[in-house]
Structure 1
Amino acid sequence: MKILAIHVGHNSTVAAMEDGEIKGALSQEKLDNKKNSADFPVDAIRSLCREVGWRTDEIDKVLIASLEVFPAICYDYLFGSTPETQTSLSIAELIKRAEKGIAGRLAPKAFDRLRTIRANQLKEMGVEELQVNLKKAGLEHKSIEHIEHHTCHARAAFHSFCSTPSKKDALIFTLDGSGDGLCSTVSISRADGGWERLAETPMRSSLGGIYSNTTRFLGMKILEHEYKVMGLAPYAKSYYLKAYEKIFKPVIDLDPHNPLSFSSNVDTTKFYDYLVENAVGERFDNIAAALQHLTEDLCIRWIKSGIEKTGLRDIFVGGGVFMNVKLNQRIKDLEEVDTVCFMPSCGDESNPIGACYDYAARSGHPTKPLKDLFLGIGYSREDFVDYIEKTRLSEKYKIQEFDEIEVKIAQLLASKNVVARFHGRCEWGARSLGNRAILAHPSYMESFYTVNDLIKSRDFWMPFAPSILEEHASLYLQNYDPEKSEAPYMICTYQATEEGVAQLRAAIHQGDHTLRPQVVKKQVNPDYYRLIHEFHGLTGVGAVLNTSFNLHGYPLVATPEQAIMTFENSGLQYLALGTFLISKS
């Protein structure tokens, strides 16, 4: 059975499943080159079907990874507005200002009613727009089913790691800003295939909403720069706790009547206004650290409560808040946890995967876990030859082909060069896992500054990450225990060992000496493994610095055109395009 699942909205994504196995997953941003694109993923649908060898008339079922679907206009504020959306947003702003005034104090329920009416109008617009877009994709006559948002998060987190039927009961946590009116759930997956939701939290008490609104308050982009706030937090001094006590602690806590859910004294959909009233004048680094402290403290108590209530110590987590790798480190280190699996790239782009798994599981079909995340589009040698000839690249750059390109890249890295690598199918999700990567020698801070200043233009406090050979993981990562939690996807941090600090200096967080590792196994990505293995033979270092192959503000590249655009508009000197090495003079 061929199932196609679609996430509509911020970072729109499509996933393809056949006979219980995810065959591919691709975000629209990979095709239109607009980071976190909210455009309907027509391009992604066509490209993914071509990659997995499907015709649209062969698709048996189409799933929408949400009960509610909103029109594209709702996401324009994330990408810049048009004259049409400016009018809509200005009306919303006028209503918001009126609510803060006398009218809002005299008739608050009237404004709640206005918001409800507007939300229903937008949902109707979303349904109409969805039908138009499905027709564009050639899917208008397919059987369509909507899957609830947090069910998708939970199913993705569990089934991506476990075959069904599974061996034992497990506990699943989901946590994000909002989706279908909720921001968190706690569920149990039974070994016999049963599925039970124990608790949920409405979106008005959203820890994820607090994090995003604080990101906006600090002058950064919501749904994109939360990782910058997390990266900034370790640089704050201990008196950030005063900001925590004043600003964040009074707002949200576990529900005293049900500690598997959250309860907020402030409607977190309006948390930005709360910050304007209560946080102006606070140091920005103190706010970042206070927010991170709130997130870690509250989530740890929440997860402990779930374990205490159920007695289950094998846990799975999903939803955008768990993109917070420092939080995940705290979870991983809990004594109460026997095993933990972190859904990689666990924002809404994971929900089409979860929708596929949910439908298969409810239909009684066995499911297979993800083998890896190389689920996107790939290119053959012939494709590269055609592209190089068509664009006449050899007239601009030196181009050489190597039978053993991994050996050549390792040699360049060992000589402290920076190399972009474009190889195989592209990674699904937010992280570079070696196939669309910028690589450098991890032992020298010159690597950090070269990549940061000439290519990435990132904030100075943001770290890069290492790709580490599996057999060297314990050398560089404190308390690395793959039996408890594996680390193949850069979704959890570890404290660096002394050897890690010494050999991976350019790939650690300079403020707290943590690492966000990708532990590379030979059987998962043999070519990338060989590259690092060759590098180790030349340098004695069993890891390389790995950051995503893109310019600042753009998504991870997916096509040769995007790769060359990035190469030409950065300080990159070398690009390995398949087996071809392209060099600037």
Structure 2
Amino acid sequence: MRILGISPLDKNTTICLVEDGKIIAAMGEERFSRQKMHSGFPHLALQELFTTYRLTADDIDYVAYAFFDADTEKQMMQQSQQWYQEKMSQTSSKEIFSKFRNLPAYREKFFHIPGLSQDKLYMKKPWHMNLFYTLASTLNFLGNAIQQRYFDLWIADAFADHAQYQTELLQNLQKFGLTEKLVRFDHHLCHSANAYYTSGFDEALIVTLDGYGSGLAGSIAVGKNGKIERIHGMRYPVSLGEFYERVTSSLGFRPGRHEGKIVGLAAYDDPNILFETVRSFFEVKDGEVLYKLPHNFFLVRYLASRYPKPTVGSAFQKVLEDVSCEYVSYYQKQTGLKNIVVSGGVVANVKANQRLFEIPGIEKIFIHPAMGDDGCCVGAALLLTSQKQDLKPYELKDVYLGPGYTEEEMEEALKQEGLVAERPENLPKRVAELLVDGKIVARFNGRMEYGPRALGNRTIMYHAKDPSVNLWLNTQLKRTEFMPFAPATLYEHREKCYKNIQGAEYAANFMTITFDCTDFMIKQCPAAVHVDKTARPQLVRKEVNESFYQIIEEYYKLTGNPSIINTSFNMHEEPIVCTPFDAIRAFKLGHLHYLAMGPFLVKGEEV
């Protein structure tokens, strides 16, 4: 049985091909269109899939999509709004306004944050906006009226988006001859399916957390013997995803794209300064969560106008961890399950994943590598597979599921771009020597990664000894980041570098969780260790990516250090490179020292 999975069209549209429960290919439209977080029908990715595997519409049995039709989704939104209003009629939001009328004093301090100057620490607004933020955050009647107004607007806008993308989906499926094969699914069940069926755990507690999907913003399910049974739904607008989007936007970053910057900033200040204020948004009791005034985003903007970005970000990060862990912990105790699998946009937050893994009773964790809505294509396809045939959870060998290119194609691209390439007899050793020599080496090899992380095939490498690299290399690539680059570490040396990693090794293959670092790691790899002494590693196994492993192994032989820096091969606000021409362009624009493309090595003009 051959299933084409398509993720929601509203952002980072991704497709996959699943045959009898195995993922054959998965690729995001952004990699082909070169539009970051591409929204809309995946024309280019689908054409690539059909061409590569010589498929026609007749070869596809089903098309699986991770949302219901627009009218059903609207009905679910309205039911969620009615549920929320009934809940709020039984409680009070007065505590929030009281907290905001009595905000804690703050003494201005100096922050040393690479990439963020002191004058950019505050969100300075005109006096009239500050006045409105104050009123909307301290006057009960006004704050509640804003909540109601913007909830109504959200439903109208969300329904319009669903209707637009539904039309686009149906029209384009018709062009490909696939309309009659469409099967729609509950959004959060798709998240549950991609986490459970690729976990390798027969039994697991399944957790999903995101912004919105089919009336929910989160769920708890039990996976057992290849079946998924939901036991709780976190009804919208109780959305930890939107909670974190609010702070991302209020601190001047782009929601849905730059949440990782907040995770990085959060480590630079004390979360307890604003913790009680921000925690007042939530009530958590007996496995139920209530998020008060989620659509009054002026509350967050008020905080952002009065406190530095790290102070606000740190409080939101701690509250996210606190609420999600309390929610999950309740159901872990109820079920007694020791394995946890998670998916959804919220769990792109690698630090929160560490906290989930640290919940007492949890022994193993897995995060689906494409945890956001891009991974829903895989979830929908696997969910449909499970309904048609017996499907047991299995481990992914790797996620190199995108297109690959032949040596001839690479060589031709290099020639067309006027680049002179050598072909070293021992390329891994040569690259390792360059890294020891302080050179930046971009790597383009094999099939492209599925999901948001570069995992060695579309990667920029550097040694991990220089902590200043996070500023100067990001500047060179025209990026603004506040987290260190991630380390790629030889699997055999994982316990030498990271604490309490047992039970999370599989998740760490895909760079989806942080760990506290050992003294060895802190000393040997300061460029990969954050100010809170954590790192987000990719564990590299020889049997998974032999050529990448050999580079790190050769580097280890020369230095005694089993980790190198691995950052994605792309320029600022561009997708990770896909084709040889994309790689050459980014290599030139980034003024990188060397490009290792397949068996070829190219020296940059800067060397």
TM-score scaled by length of structure 2 = 0.83
**What are the within-5 Å matches in structure 2 for residues 328-347 of structure 1?**
328-347=353-372
Q: Deviations over 1:346-378 (max 9, x none)?
A: 011111111111001111233544221101010
Structure 1 match to 2:131: none
Following TM superposition, by how much is the alpha carbon of 1:63 offset from its aligned partner in structure 2, in angstroms?
Answer: 1.0
Q: 1:466 aligns with which of 474, 487, 497?
A: 487
Partner of 1:490: 511
Which segment is superposed worse, 425-434 or 568-577?
568-577
SS at match of 1:235: coil
* 1:404 and 1:579 in contact (8 A); partners too: no
Separation in structure 1 between the aligned mates of residue 428 and residue 44 of structure 2, nearest angstrom: 31
Letter in 2 for 1:151: L
Task: Measure the CA separation in 2 of the matches of 1:492 and 1:209.
Answer: 21
Q: 2:589 aligns with which of 546, 549, 569?
A: 569
Tell whether 2:290 aligns with 1:263. Answer: yes
Match of 2:115 in 1: none
**AA partner of residue 290 (structure 2):** S
Residue in 2 that maps onto 1:158: 196
Task: Verify the 8 A CA contact 1:9 1:40 in the aligned structure 2.
Answer: no
Hey, what does 1:327 align to over in structure 2?
352
Q: Confirm or deny that 1:212 pairs with 2:245.
A: yes
C-alpha distance 538-12 of structure 1, shift in aligned 2 (>3 A): same
Quick check: 1:184–1:201 contact (8 Å CA) kept in 2?
yes
Determine the structure 2 residue equivalent to 1:283.
308
Equivalent in the alignment of 1:78:
none
SS in 1 for 2:167: helix
**Do the aligned partners of residues 111 and 317 (structure 1) sit closer, same or farther apart at CA in structure 2, a change above 3 Å counting?**
closer
Asked if the contact 1:68/1:180 (under 8 Å) is kept, the reply is no
Q: 1:250 and 2:280 equivalent? A: yes
Separation in structure 2 between the aligned mates of residue 108 and residue 451 of structure 1, nearest angstrom = 42
Q: Could you say which residue in structure 2 is the equivalent of 1:139?
A: 177
The Cα shift of 1:483 comes to 6.9
SS at match of 1:555: coil
Is the deviation greater in 348-357 or in 59-68?
Answer: 59-68
- Per-residue CA deviations over 1:276-309 (Å, capped at 9, x if unaligned) read 3565312221110000110111111111101111
- Displacement of 1:60 in angstroms is 1.2
Map 1:57-456; keep pairs closer than 5 Å: 57-68=58-69, 119-136=158-175, 138-162=176-200, 167=202, 169-191=203-225, 193-236=226-269, 238=270, 240-246=271-277, 248-254=278-284, 256=285, 258-259=286-287, 261-266=288-293, 268=294, 270-277=295-302, 280-367=305-392, 368-389=394-415, 391-394=416-419, 398-445=420-467, 447-456=469-478
Residue 15 of structure 1 deviates from its aligned partner by 0.9
Query: How many residues are aligned here?
Result: 537
Q: Distance in 2 between matches of 1:152 and 1:427?
A: 20
Aligned to 1:581: 601
Local SS of the residue matching 2:590: coil
The alignment partner of 1:383 has SS state of: helix
- Contact kept in structure 2, 1:21 and 1:369, CA below 8 Å: no
For structure 1, which segment, 512-521 or 277-286, has the greater mean C-alpha deviation from structure 2 after superposition? 277-286
Shift of the alpha carbon at 1:405?
2.0
| Partner amino acid, structure 1, of 2:380 | A
List alignment gaps of at least 5 residues for structure 1.
71-99
Partner amino acid, structure 2, of 1:477: Y
The one-letter amino acid paired with 1:60 is: D
C-alpha deviation, 1:113, in angstroms: 6.5
Give yes or no for contact 1:60–1:142 (8 Å, CA) kept in 2: no
Tell me by how many angstroms 1:208 deviates.
1.2
Matched, 1:555 2:580: no
Bigger mean CA deviation after superposition, 358-367 or 58-67: 358-367
**Cα distance change of structure 1 residues 218 and 68 upon mapping to structure 2, 3 Å threshold:** farther
For residues 558 and 432 of structure 1, what CA distance do their matches in structure 2 show?
11
Distance 1:47 1:309 in 2: 46
Tell me which of 529, 550, 554 is aligned to 2:549. 529
Percent sequence identity is 31
Change (3 A) 1:108 1:230: closer
- Please give the residue correspondences for 1:13-24 in structure 2 after superposition, counting only pairs within 5 Å: 13-24=14-25
- Give the aligned partner of residue 512 of structure 1: 532
Q: Deviations over 1:404-448 (max 9, x none)?
A: 322221121121111000000011111110000000111223544
Task: Spell out, residue by residue over 1:188-234, the C-alpha distance to the aligned partner (whole angstroms, 9 max, x if none).
Answer: 1122x332111112221111111001100000000011110010011
What's the secondary structure of 1:214's corresponding residue? helix
Q: 1:119 offset after TM fit, Å?
A: 4.8
For residues 479 and 144 of structure 1, do their structure 2 counterparts lie closer, same or farther at Cα, with a shift above 3 Å needed?
same
TM normalised by structure 1 equals 0.86
- C-alpha offsets along residues 305-364 of structure 1, whole Å, 9 cap, x if unaligned? 011111222111111111111111112223311211122230111111111110011112
| Counterparts of 1:64 and 1:145, CA distance in 2 | 6
> 1:576, CA displacement in angstroms?
1.0
Query: How far did residue 526 of structure 1 move?
Result: 1.0
Consecutive unaligned residues in structure 2, runs of 5 or more:
72-135
Is the Cα–Cα contact under 8 Å of residues 421 and 603 in structure 2 kept in the other structure?
yes
Cα deviation, 1:70-99, whole Å, max 9, x if unaligned, reads 9xxxxxxxxxxxxxxxxxxxxxxxxxxxxx
Which whole-Å CA distance do the structure 2 matches of 1:323 and 1:546 have between them? 18
Whether the 8 Å contact between 1:104 and 1:111 is mirrored in structure 2 is: no
**3-state SS of the aligned residue for 1:312?**
coil
